[in-house]
A = this chain, B = another copy of it.
Amino acid sequence: MIVVPLGVASATPTAVRHLPSVALWREGSVFLFDCGENAQMRMLQAGIKRSKIEAIFITHFDVDHYSGLLGLLATLQLQRREKPLHIVGPKGIKDFVEWNLKFADIDANYEITFHEIAEDIESDVVHDEDEYYVEARPLKHTKFCVGYRFQEKDKPGKVDAEKAEKMGISKDEEFKELKAGNDVTLDDGSVVKSSDIVGHPRPGDSFAYVTDTEYTPNAVKLAMNTNILYHEATFGKDLNDKAGETGHSSTVDAARVATEAQTKLLVIGHFSARYTNEHDLLKEAREGFYPAWLANELRPIFTDPMHERGIITPKVEINEIDKKSGGSNYKGKKNYKSGGKKNFRSRKGGSSSRGRSSSRSSSSSSRGRSSSSSSSKRTDSRGKSDNYKRKTYGSSTYSANIKDKKDDSDSSSPRKITPRSSYDDFDRF
């Protein structure tokens, strides 16, 4: 799965932050969590096809969280969408969409199915498919607000084909039976047990979206053992009181939820406009939980970078959320293509996260070397500020991974997209 923050502002946009929306890409389908103003354009800029949207999940009815919904629906209409669309939100969402479509004189040529969430639920499975489901739980805000957890269902264990052949399995049907969990009796009467051939089921990936809430146990339940927890951190710890008064979280709250839920990665977003440098918030969050990252608009966050990188490529420059470096921008598309020759962030990553990834990966022989050789070429002032950042905040294991991979291949050739394959045992974080 790939999580792409489309907007990380709270309440009102700043010159560089859009209103809240987060896209989740999974196996070619897209799910939108909140739909702040201009979400449709941010998707386009992120390189995510709007036609691939399966469902939209609205958390609550503060204008900033749904003001992009109508524009998006109008664009889907223009695109002549025919595939049904699911819209999930607190009770009233159906009314809102239908009233406004009627006002705009739009007779949608695609079916919209609504799932409205009642205020008195403990939890609610709002979307259920073969391979995943989405669960909602009420949060604690000034108005009714829900958080969501997107959960892939368990995937079947791996089949040990070699062992199966040795035990006499040769036909496809027999393999299928074993995979489905059934034992197979061979022609000679011997029984091959499914459990001998098929490994343990592998847990699915999960993503929790928790925003516009004070600390609440429900947030922890949603985030429990997730791969990625996207949690609001509207305020720093100096404004903990204000956070409580306005029904929001501080960096401390976000870290607390992440810690209690033992999520694998905390991503903080929904920043108050008063913070021009979000890294200050990240520092605070990291005091309470590690690994924590910043939601950076349009920059993808992967649950499985080895398989998923290259699938979503931003179509515009990504604004680095760091004013200190004076606008040293990561040029998304351009540099992906040019093999990272120029401006590509070759951040080494904090030593801890670096160590983590190296100790696990099977293809990390030349990592440190290739990474440092490219960074040593940088002698301009921008390079210096990058170095500074590397020391202070560096933790981009994924950027480093991409870079390393590229250095292994011919760096002047166009970037190769690794085809999507079934999950392997690569440890995600």
Q: A interface vs B, CB < 8 Å?
A: 11-16, 18-19, 37-38, 40-41, 44-45, 61-64, 67-68, 70-71, 74-75, 78-79, 92, 95-96, 99-100, 103-106, 143, 315-317, 327, 334
Contact = CB atoms under 8 A, between A and B. Distances in A.
B62 A104 contact: yes
Interface of A is mostly: loop
Nearest to A100: B100
A106 B15 CA distance: 24
A106 B95 CA distance: 17
Which A-B residue pairs are the 8 nearest by beta carbons? A63-B74, A38-B38, A13-B41, A67-B71, A37-B71, A12-B75, A15-B315, A63-B104
A41 B41 CA distance: 13
Contact of A70 (B14, B67, B327): B67
Nearest to A36: B71
Given A19-B71, A61-B104, A71-B64, A40 B40 contact: no
Given A11-B75, A12-B78, 20 more contacts: A12-B40, A12-B74, A12-B75, A12-B79, A13-B38, A13-B40, A13-B41, A13-B44, A13-B75, A14-B44, A15-B44, A16-B316, A18-B38, A37-B41, A61-B104, A62-B104, A63-B71, A67-B74, A317-B327, A327-B334
A273 to B, nearest CB: 10
Nearest to A96: B103
Contacts of A316: 15-16
B327 A105 contact: no
A64 B104 CA distance: 10
Given A63-B70, A71-B64, A334-B327, A41 B44 contact: no
A37 B100 contact: no
Contacts of A106: 63
Contact of A68 (B37, B74, B75): B37
Nearest to A327: B334
A118 to B, nearest CB: 18
Nearest to A326: B334
A41 B61 contact: no
A15 B74 CA distance: 17
Contacts of A96: 103
Contacts of A63: 70-71, 74, 104, 106
Contacts of A18: 38, 41
A331 to B, nearest CB: 8
A104 B95 CA distance: 12
A99 B99 CA distance: 9
A44 B15 CA distance: 6
Contacts of A38: 13, 18, 37-38, 41
A86 to B, nearest CB: 21
- Most chain B beta carbons < 10 A, residue from A12, A99, A317: A12
A74 B64 contact: yes
A62 B103 CA distance: 10
A315 B13 CA distance: 13
21 contacts: A12-B40, A13-B40, A13-B41, A13-B44, A14-B44, A15-B41, A15-B45, A15-B315, A15-B316, A18-B41, A37-B38, A37-B67, A61-B104, A63-B74, A64-B74, A67-B68, A67-B70, A67-B74, A99-B99, A105-B143, A327-B334
Contacts of A15: 41, 44-45, 315-316
